[in-house]
Amino acid sequence: MVSVSEPWYVHEPLLELKNVFAGYGQIEVLHGVDLRIGAGQAVALLGANGAGKTSVLRVATGLLEPTSGCVHIAGRHVNGVATDELARLGICTVPEGRGIFPNLTVADNLRMGTYSGISLEEIEQSAYERFPKLAARRNQQAGTMSGGEQQMLSLARALATRPVLLLVDELSMGLAPIIVDQLFEEVARIVNEGTSVLIIEQFARKALQVATWGIVLNNGVVEAQGSPDELNQALDVAYLGKR
């Protein structure tokens, strides 16, 4: 696979992990991970089940403290800083499994975004503009919506806080390909609007369509990284033997 020592896109990274080791109890799952996301960039973090992708996200959002190494946000050392403090710095997650409240209505789920100081009216307006389907379901219990609609709600709620960096974990999980395409189109739009995004995906091709850089994690180490073109070519070789 492609291996590039110095990504081209960042001098002052928005998020930077430097030689991060982390784990759960005695079990170390990240063994010296380096990762950088620059302003306005979309980085795809790829890898098989159990490679450590979600653990990287937990480190970046303060849910998992590194045992060694550094986490920097816009140059600030944030090891051990609480998740809500990082959220105030503009780091926001669309978690694996969506993280919405199934028994609450769509509007009440969006209300959760008002902690950031933005009014519900404003949040609803931008959510329904982005995802018109949600407007028709404003008073519907979120858990009764389709998986794709729930993912739209999760994205809309995250965007309500106007994050500078959005971390999206397994957007495609359990969804039909056509819905996944629509959601990734939305991610591309979010990137075009200037929000930086970390896209965690098992389905590499999909994520590389919207990413500006890709990183492949394997067993808790960065195995390869490169431009989407480079990584797509590497996938062709790995899966199809094409050169």
Positions touching ligand ATP (CB under 6 A) are 24, 27, 29, 47, 49-55, 202
Of residues 149 and 170, the one with the C-beta less far from ligand ATP: 170
CB of 228 to ligand ATP, least distance (A): 20
HEC secondary structure over 65-117: CCCEEEEEECCEECCCCCHHHHHHCCEEEECCCCCCCCCCEHHHHHHHHHHHC
CB of 24 to ligand ATP, least distance (A): 3
Of residues 5 and 49, the one with the C-beta less far from ligand ATP: 49
The region that residue 62 occupies, defined by phi over 0 for left and psi between -120 and 50 for alpha, beta otherwise, is left
CB of 22 to ligand ATP, least distance (A): 9
Q: What are the backbone angles phi and psi of residue 91, rounded to the nearest 5°?
A: -100, 120
Of residues 5 and 26, the one with the C-beta less far from ligand ATP: 26
Of residues 55 and 195, the one with the C-beta less far from ligand ATP: 55
Reduce the DSSP state of residue 163 to 3 states and report it: coil
CB of 21 to ligand ATP, least distance (A): 13
Q: Is the Cβ–Cβ distance between 90 and 165 less than 8 Å?
A: yes
CB of 198 to ligand ATP, least distance (A): 12
Of residues 53 and 137, the one with the C-beta less far from ligand ATP: 53
CA distances from 219 to 14, 143, 178, 216 (A): 25, 34, 31, 10
The residue among 47, 21, 64 whose CA lies nearest residue 198 is 47
